[in-house]
Amino acid sequence: MYEMKSADLNILIVDDEEDVRMLLKDVLTLPGYNVWTASGGLEAINMMQDVDFSIVITDIWMPGVDGVQITRKFKEVNSDTTVIVVTGHASIQSALAVLKEGAYDYIAKPFDISEVRLIVKRAAERYRLLNEVKEKEIYKQLAILDGLTETYNRHYFNQTLPRELERAKRYKNPLSFLMVDIDYFKKFNDIHGHLAGDWALKKASQVIVGSVRIPDMVFRYGGEEFAVVLPETYKPDAITVAKRIKANVSLTRFLDSKIMPTQHLTISIGACTFPVDAQNFQELIENADKYLYSAKRLGRDRICFSSEGKEIEIR
């Protein structure tokens, strides 16, 4: 097996002329690229078994396996592999024919070094973009969303909050965090049944998501409890968001009044802000949970947080 840095893009240069291979390798030996060479098509295909190549630069005319066959083979194995073909000015039509086979672009001889680097840079950007899209699809497959409420789930919360905290520390930005709990939800379930309870949870999540900004993130933390992460948000702004969530939930009907009397619900919220209230992931959760408990102890349907060392409640 070949050793490589996983963060770098692997580039394979395929050409039966050694001076061409060495020239392109020298030109492309840059930060972010691992550059490999092969003297022919068969060698390139063999190397493909061990290395995941992001970009393949291949001459069109070579003995044995030519550039067209190489393009087909690499695209067959991984359709995202970006193939760039090398040709002489007199053979541009051949290059255009290979583009129809799935090649991304062509480089003409004699080489213009700046053009070579620009084409490869664009190819690298394309490859990274394709992989970002693919990663988003993988995240969906890993079920980062809660199946009932379609907010983010607890597993994704455990990944996201530490990452957002590190970003806040790095750029010296605040980060606020809300713990939201639906009041007397067990009683609601006991009276109206679990189907109505599930519907109410879904409705509550929609209200919470609709009450925050696009950069903010809402997670189903567990049961009837939700976590809200507010990046780059100072405490006064976080309290404004908490008030809006609380007001919007209190105005929402959680049962269809055509079937039975209108049912309203209330919520309790604990708020905490980095770095004034907590320095790490654990402290942020513990303190927000502490203030949520205070909100419930004081009678529910309120927001609790700390200001200048004192516990504050807002009804």
How do strand 267-274 and strand 82-88 relate by DSSP bridges? unpaired
Closest CA to 55 of 16, 15, 5, 105: 105
User: Hunting for tokens 């994704």 — which residue is that?
Assistant: 156
Check which CATH number belongs to the domain holding 128 and give it: 3.40.50.2300
Among residues 107, 139, 171, the one where a domain terminates is 139
Question: CA–CA distance from 269 to each of 68, 93, 104, 239, 285 (Å)?
Answer: 63, 67, 53, 10, 13
- Could you give the residue numbers annotated as active site? 224
3-state DSSP call for residue 218?
Answer: strand
CATH number of the structural domain spanning residue 264: 3.30.70.270
Query: pTM here?
Result: 0.57
Phi, psi of 236 (to 5 degrees): -55, -40
Beta bridge partners of 13: 37, 57
Q: Are 176 and 235 in contact (CB under 8 A)?
A: yes
Q: pLDDT > 70: what percent of the chain?
A: 89
Q: Are residues 166 and 22 in the same domain?
A: no
pLDDT tier for residue 127 given thresholds of 50, 70 and 90: confident
Q: Determine what percent of the chain falls in helix, strand and coil, rounding each to the nearest 5.
A: 45, 20, 30
Average model confidence (pLDDT) across the chain: 86
254 in a structural domain: yes
Express each pLDDT in 229-250 by its tens digit.
999 999 999 999 999 999 999 9
Whether 76 is covered by a domain: the verdict is: yes
Range of the domain at 162: 154-314
Single out the residue in 139, 167, 182 at which a domain terminates. Answer: 139
Reported as a single tens digit per residue, the pLDDT across 29-60 is 888 889 999 998 889 888 888 888 889 998 88
